[in-house]
Amino acid sequence: MDTVKIGKYVFKSRLMVGTGKYPSNEIMVKALEASGADLVTVAVRRVNLDRSKESLLDHIDLKKYRLLPNTAACYTADDAIRTARLAREALDTDLIKLEVIGDEKTLFPDNEALLEAAKVLVKEGFTVMPYSNDDPIMAKKLEDAGCAAVMPLAAPIGSGLGIRNPYNIRIILETVKVPIIVDAGVGTASDAAIAMELGCDGLLMNTAIASAKDPVAMARAMNLATEAGRLAFTSGRIPRKLYATASSPLSGLIE
C-alpha cells in the first residue's frame, strides 16, 4: 500500500487537510471524511471565556485522525516556539506545523526566523514540518536542521493560484530527501494533481476545500486528484513530443 512516512509517523493518505473556515462543524466533519486524510491541522488559540464549553475536538474523531497543530499567525521565532510547546502540552503530540510569518499581506514565511525556530524545536524533540518558501536553498537548510518534512508553498495561503513555480518544486524534490509536502495555494483538483505529478510526497490544503461552494464534494475531488496525480507520477508519463506518433499500426492497411 502507498503510504507516506514523516518522522516516525506513517500516513495512508497523501492529502492532509485543515479544519479552518468551514461553514459549520457538520460540513467540516463530512469534508474530512471525503478527503480521505488521516492528518488534519488545527490552530492554537486562547479559550473563549464566554463560550468556554465549546471545543473543536468534540467534533474530530481522534481514533481516525492524527492532529497536526500549527503555529499560524506567529511572526517571531519566540512566538512560534511558545505556541509549539503549548500545542505539545495540550495534545500530547510532538508533531508541529511550523509557521513563522514574515508579512501580513502575503503571509510569506520569514526564512531566518523559521530556521531559527526549527532548530530549537528539533532539539526539543519535535517532529517539525515547516511551511516554507518554494526556495531550494531554504528547503535544504530546513532539512539539514533536522525537519521531518519540508512544506513549500505553491502560492500564497488561501490564494488558490496553484503551483506558481513548478521548476523550483522540481529542484527541491531533487535536492531534499525528506518528504516534500506542498502546502498552501492550491485552488482546484488539477493543481493538486500537478503537484503530485511533479513527484511531491503529499499536499496540505485548507481554503480550497473549506471555502468551495460545496466543501464535501471538493474534498472528494482533492482526494481523487491527489491519488490520480500520485499514480500518474509513479506510472512514468510519456515524454512530450512536438509531432504526432500514430497509435494504430501502419502495416496491414487495405489497398
Partner 1 sequence: MKIKLNGEIKELPDGATIEALLESLSIKAQGIAVEVNREIVPKRLFGASTLNEGDAVEIVRMVGGG
Residue whose C-alpha cell is 464534494: 217
Region from 16-24, 167-175, 214-222, 227-235 binding partner 1, contact rule CB under 8 A:
16-24
93-152 positions binding partner 1, by CB under 8 A: none
> Which residues, 6+ apart, have CB-to-CB distance to 153 below 8 Å?
108, 109, 131, 132, 133, 134, 182, 183, 184, 185
Q: What Cα–Cα distance (Å) separates residue 245 from each residue in 21, 134, 211, 254?
A: 48, 36, 43, 20
Q: Name the one range near partner 1 by CB under 8 A: 85-93, 145-153, 187-195, 228-236.
A: 85-93
DSSP code of residue 237: P
Residue tagged active-site, from 30, 97, 105, 140:
97
Binding flag, residue 192, partner 1 (CB under 8 A): no
Residue choice 72, 101, 120, 200 for contact with partner 1 (CB under 8 A):
72
Question: How far apart, in whole angstroms, are the C-alpha atoms of residue 211 and residue 226?
Answer: 19
Query: Please, which of residues 161-180 interact with partner 1 by CB under 8 A?
Result: none
- Contact call for residue 39 and partner 1 (CB under 8 A): no
What is the nearest approach in angstroms of partner 1 to the Cβ of residue 179?
19
C-alpha torsion sign, points 98, 103, 109, 110: negative
Report the nearest approach of partner 1 to the CB of residue 17 (Å). 8
Q: Does the annotation mark 123 as catalytic? A: no
Cα–Cα distance measured from residue 150 to residue 130, given in angstroms and rounded to the nearest whole number: 6
> Does the protein bind partner 1 through residue 49 (CB under 8 A)?
yes
Among 29, 56, 224, 228, binds partner 1 (CB under 8 A): 56
Closest CA to 149 of 35, 56, 11: 11
| Catalytically annotated residues | 97
List of residues contacting partner 1 (CB under 8 A): 18-22, 28, 41-47, 49, 52-53, 55-57, 67, 69-70, 72, 82, 85-87, 89-91, 157, 184, 204-207, 210
